[in-house]
Structure 1
């Protein structure tokens, strides 16, 4: 179960250009490292974030990424939300099928991102936009000491 985000701890990043995509990746890696995610987990999170940020830019016409550390639960985690006000996704089941693409790519964006994290959801309304939320939980790492992050 996911902890409710604290708006005071969420970091919002604009997604409107390729430079913004690089900044989102950098910030996701930074937050993941500070929370104690291992290198493999960091790489999975950054990969998922990169795919979803690119979808936000290309298919949603831009939007924002919200990064929320989840530290008020027994296990530390990171919630990432990718929000756009684009055309929405008409068929979520089809869009999350391996190999499905509308952009000429490999068709692994949504389905691949879903496999890289612990929790994944899509809230979309055609003509109004999409919110893709993912959560990853730290596994196998000691908790950071207070004042060390």
Structure 2
């Protein structure tokens, strides 16, 4: 297990199964407690991480998550970068619309995750994959 004492501490988790999605959740929860996020913000970042890890598995065909402690000079936070080499997202605006789904779910994965975090960046290219970076800062 990683110790989260330094700003550069990071841990990478391969996402190839449902168990890996659980591992990402647990790792994010551990770091959220370590950086002293409020209980509400812990829940938000864990929920976002769970949604994005599941998307990486289901839509990206698997990939990885890199979980790291970050510090902007004023406060600590958590950054998680999800990356896959799947099909990419053909219409990003549509995919970020509440209610849009290709998998029969509620369609709140990407748009919901975006609302739960402080910073959300997505880079996708059809045929090459998707990388999503999310950050949650201590208040």
**Normalising by the residue count of structure 2, what TM-score does the alignment of the two structures yield?**
0.93
Unaligned runs of 5+ residues in structure 1 are: 1-5, 140-149
Give the corresponding residue for 2:30: 30
Deviation at 1:8, TM superposition (A): 5.1
Give the corresponding residue for 1:20: 20
Give the corresponding residue for 1:113: 113
* 2:57 paired with 1:57: yes
Deviation at 1:122, TM superposition (A): 0.6
Give the corresponding residue for 1:128: 128
**Normalising by the residue count of structure 1, what TM-score does the alignment of the two structures yield?**
0.87
For residues 25 and 123 of structure 2, the distance between their equivalents in structure 1, rounded to whole angstroms, comes to 22
Deviation at 1:71, TM superposition (A): 2.8
Task: Give CA-to-partner distance per residue, 1:100-144, whole Å, 9 cap, x none.
Answer: 0000000000000000010101101110000011011001xxxxx
For residues 72 and 65 of structure 1, the distance between their equivalents in structure 2, rounded to whole angstroms, comes to 21
Unaligned runs of 5+ residues in structure 2 are: 1-5
1:25 match: secondary structure: helix
Greater C-alpha radius of gyration? 1
1:79 match: secondary structure: strand
Give the corresponding residue for 1:103: 103
Give the corresponding residue for 1:145: none
Indicate the RMSD between aligned Cα atoms, in angstroms: 1.4
Give the corresponding residue for 1:142: none
Give the corresponding residue for 1:39: 39
Task: Give CA-to-partner distance per residue, 1:63-117, whole Å, 9 cap, x none.
Answer: 0000110135211111111100000011111000000000000000000000001
For residues 56 and 7 of structure 1, the distance between their equivalents in structure 2, rounded to whole angstroms, comes to 25
